Each structure stands twice: as structure tokens, then as C-alpha cells.
A and B are shown apart, each in its own frame.
Chain A
Amino acid sequence: MLHSIDPKSAVPIYLQITEQLRRSVAAGLLLPGDQLPSVRELAARLLVNPNTVAKVYRDLERDGLLETRRGQGTFIAADAAAMAEGERRRLLTDELRAVARDVHAFGLDDESALDLFRRVLKDEKPGRKDRR
């Protein structure tokens, strides 16, 4: 998790870190009880402003994804697993919205769009050899 930050991206660094953490939880790469690096460690590792990391931790704690244990550090919250399902839906919904806007802009009807999506789903199924 949390490999790199792209400072040139138009996506604010705060959001990049938040999304990477949320994705890691949604994908089960981070499990309840896993400890996260301290604000200082993570800021120095990613080379970002410590206030930015502190804000990410604060906001994700407020959302119930992280919990801070006094004197021990920051951990993935116990009920993060339950949240992971909701998180997966939220991430997918966000991306589908962008696709849906394109579908409408290109004037495609719903049925053709769904057909296309079914085909892509099939193509991208893990384990298919001819997948690009």
C-alpha cells in the first residue's frame, strides 16, 4: 500500500493518499488491526507535508476506517471489514458515474452501453489468458 504520490497530478495529494488507503482496505490488502506508519514516518516516506498526512488520518478516523490507540499509533479499525463492502461499492459507483456521463455524451442508448459493459466484464475476468 501507499507506494507513491504524483505531485504533478491534478488530483490533490490529500486525495491521492486517502484513495490509496481506502482502496487498500476495500481490496483487503489492509486488514482490521493492521498498524499504519506514524504521521511523521509516512510523511517522510512519501515526501509530503506532515499536516497533509495528519489530515488524512483525522478524516479517515472520523469516517470510522482508522482508529488511534493512545500511545500506540494508528490502526485499521475493527469494523473496517464491514465497511470494505460499502467502500467497494462507493469506489465502483464513482468510476461508473464517469463512464455513464460519457455514455450519455456519446449518445449511446442504455442497452448498447450495458452490452458493452458485459463484454468488458467478461474480457477482464481474472485468469483469462487473452486479456490485454
Chain B
Amino acid sequence: MTENGFAIQTHSLTKRFGRLTALDGVSANVPTGSIYGLMGPNGAGKTTFVRVMLNLLSPTRGSATVLGHDVVREPVAVRRRIGHVAALQPLWEWMKVREFTHFMGACYPQWNPEAVSSILSHVGIDPEMKIQALSRGQRAIASLAAAIGHGPDLLLLDEALTGLDPMARREVLRNVIDAMHAQGRTVLITGQDIADMERICDHVGFLVKGRLVLESTLDDLKAKVKRVRVEHERDVEIELPQGALEAARTPGETSFTTADFSESLSGSLAGPNRRVEVRDMSLEDIFVHLAQAELRREAG
């Protein structure tokens, strides 16, 4: 179905708006069947990336392949197989929910009205309601139902959870997990709530100022990025390993963050009167750490 195992592959993808470079040589690989979290500070290029995948924007340079199709040359083949939900997406306010989903269904030969109704009824949305009468959370669910009714192989959720209350966020996530779990389906999700990302993503990419500074499985990332704290003799200065960041020293104690942790590293710090403590970092800590390191690198 997909072609080399990747739902999305980009090569040196660059998008400029006048003098602003929104995407700067991004080579991303989103594995088929993954839930991929594209993270980054505001203005990092996440939404631009999603819009290029939808061929709503065309690349300035480089290329992008979605489900094996080139996004510029075969936009229709791409659009047929992906679903898209954006934050505060405009909907047809005057339509009833039933009319809205029927309308969306008419665009796709493989539309599954039962799947859509079951999502709506599960959260108590009456198909006879007008769109304008829906709460923000209900609108998000309606948008999601409409985006997955054609059984897409790839779902793009662009800030789709932003601004929702925790209940609505959970309901959207539950439906994403439930609907997309079927073999081979891929989800790319962008957003600010790192805790949500940490729950459901197995792959993450970090965009900072248009550059993809890191792409990894979440497990590998957590195994490699650690905070190390060493209690040692007061009169000794510990030599920091290469690439150590955010080092803090007090007499008898040294701590630092490393993005390249290994058992041999902690072994090299150990000693008879020492205590080496290795702490896992949450995705949020890792995220802040990477963003700061990148911005510092740029400034220096």
C-alpha cells in the first residue's frame, strides 16, 4: 500500500514567503502506521509543513511524497487518501450536522456513513443540530468525523486539540486512536500540548525556525536524553562529557544534561565515594532543552 514504509517523506523541503523562510531544508520521514508528533514553538513551520502536504502551498525547493505520491504532481491522488483537521476550521454554519457529513461524503466514493454516525452519536451530537449550535468540542468531533469518513490512510491533525477543554481533547484523541488503529494508518499531529503528544505519539519531530532539528522514536529519544547528577568529593572537579549542556556545579555536586546517554558514560563518572544519579526527562523538558540549544547555536 505504501511504498517503502513511509507515509510522508520530504527531501530538503524549503518554503519561503518573501524573505521569510518558513521551512528550511526539511527532510522528514513519517513511518507508515506511526502516530507522529510534529512539535515546535509558535512560528516554527508546523502548519506550513501540513499545508504543503495538502498541496495548499507549493514548495519553493525540495520535494514531498505522501503515500507514495508526489504532492505537486499528483495532488488529487494525495487528497483522496488523507484526512485533515485544522484548529478552528471554518464550517458551514447554516448546515445541519447531517447535511454537513452528507456533503463531505459526496466528495468520496468510499464514504462510510455508519462510522461517521457512530462517532457523532457516541458524544451525543444530534445530526439534526445546526453547526452553529455546536460547542467548540462538538465542532472538533464533527470535523474529525468528517475527516475520517472516507477511511483515510493518513490523518493530519493540525493544532486540532488547541483550545479544547480536557474532556473534548480526550474525546478527540480516543476517536483518533480508535479510528486510525487499523493496519497501516498513519497520523501526523501538530500541537502545543506536549502531554497529549507524549501519550499517543510513537515518533516525534522537532521543528525550530523551519529546521527539523531532530526526528526520532519517542523511546529512543527518552533513552538518550538524560539529566545526570553526580555527588562527588568536594575537592574534585568532574570533567564534563562532550556535548554536555546546562551544567551546574556546586562543591561536591555536578549535574548536566546529555543528548547521548549510555551506560558507559555513567560508568565513567562512577567512583568509590560517588553517587551517580540518572534521571529520565519528560518530553516537555527535552523539548525546551532542544529548542534552547538550537536558538543558542544560531545566536552563537
Contact = CB atoms under 8 A, between A and B. Distances in A.
A10 B282 contact: yes
B170 interface: yes
B174 A47 contact: yes
Interface in A23-52: 39-40, 43-44, 47-52
A18 B192 CA distance: 28
Contact of B284 (A8, A11, A14): A8
Given A12-B280, A105-B231, A47 B199 contact: yes
B219 interface: yes
Interface residues of A, number: 21
Contacts of A49: 35, 177, 199-202
Q: Which of B170, B199, B282, B283 has the most CB of A within 10 A?
A: B199
Interface residues of B, number: 27
B33 A51 contact: yes
B275 A47 contact: no
B177 A8 contact: no
B196 interface: yes
A13 B181 CA distance: 18
B215 interface: no
Given A10-B282, A12-B280, A47 B222 contact: no
A50 B281 contact: no
Given A40-B181, A44-B177, A10 B280 contact: yes
B61 interface: no
A43 B181 contact: yes
A87 B174 CA distance: 32
B279 interface: yes
21 contacts: A7-B199, A7-B283, A8-B198, A8-B282, A8-B284, A9-B282, A10-B279, A12-B219, A14-B219, A39-B181, A40-B178, A43-B177, A43-B181, A47-B173, A47-B174, A47-B199, A49-B35, A49-B177, A50-B181, A51-B34, A52-B202
Interface of A: 5, 7-14, 39-40, 43-44, 47-52, 101, 105
Interface of B: 33-35, 170, 173-174, 177-178, 181, 195-196, 198-202, 218-219, 222, 231, 275, 279-284
